[in-house]
């Protein structure tokens, strides 16, 4: 067990990762970005990087600040939001196009992360489209990126408080 830092001082920063490992992690992240609609289990990603599953999961979180599954969810929700805003695809088509296997899972996770149902998000995005028309797309995408850390923590807090509606409560 590593020794703790004395009170009132900061713990030392974690050691930097090997540059070769970081390049391979970037390669795995790029593959997830390019095909976020595909299934990306940790086994598949670890094989891309050439390390064990546990080492991959730890290294990915250390390098990018979020676990691989949460990163993939972020990308899928971003793409779904863009499709809902910019296309006339049905919500079912958007769900399947962004890699969800069921419409129910898509709607539940989308609402948990964004706070709105896919239909409500589409209506809101279209209503605000005229006001946001002069802002570059890259800036909008960065500003509208879902923060899954907050969404997950908020959901856990609401579950603990008993204020989470039964339709979205997780079954253990």
Q: Quick: pLDDT tens for 79-118.
A: 999 999 889 999 999 999 999 999 999 999 999 989 999 9
Q: Which residues contact 109 (CB under 8 A, 6 or more apart)?
A: 73, 77, 100
Upper half-sphere CA count for residue 116 (Cβ side, 13 Å): 13
Structure token digits, residue 75 = 């990308």
Which CATH class for the 71-164 domain? mainly alpha
Give the domain ranges of the chain: 19-65, 71-164
Structure confidence at residue 152 as a pLDDT band (50, 70, 90)? low
Provide the whole-model pTM. 0.67
Structure token digits, residue 1 = 């067990």
Place of tokens 């589409």: 122
pLDDT score recorded for residue 126: 81
């Amino acid at each position: 067990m590593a020794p703790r830092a004395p009170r009132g001082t900061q713990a030392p920063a974690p050691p930097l990762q090997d540059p070769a490992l970081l390049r391979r992690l970037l390669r795995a992240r790029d593959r997830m970005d390019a095909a976020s609609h595909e299934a990306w289990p940790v086994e598949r990603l670890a094989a891309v990087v050439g390390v064990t599953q546990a080492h991959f999961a730890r290294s990915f979180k250390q390098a990018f600040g979020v676990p691989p599954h949460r990163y993939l969810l972020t990308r899928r929700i971003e793409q779904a939001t863009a499709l809902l805003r910019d296309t006339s695809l049905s919500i079912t088509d958007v769900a399947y196009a962004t890699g969800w296997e069921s419409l129910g899972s898509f709607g539940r996770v989308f609402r948990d992360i964004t706070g709105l149902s896919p239909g409500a998000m589409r209506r809101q995005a279209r209503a605000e489209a005229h006001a946001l028309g002069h802002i570059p797309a890259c800036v909008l995408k960065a500003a509208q990126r879902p923060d899954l850390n907050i969404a997950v923590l908020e959901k856990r807090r609401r579950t603990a408080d008993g204020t989470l509606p039964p339709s979205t409560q997780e079954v253990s």
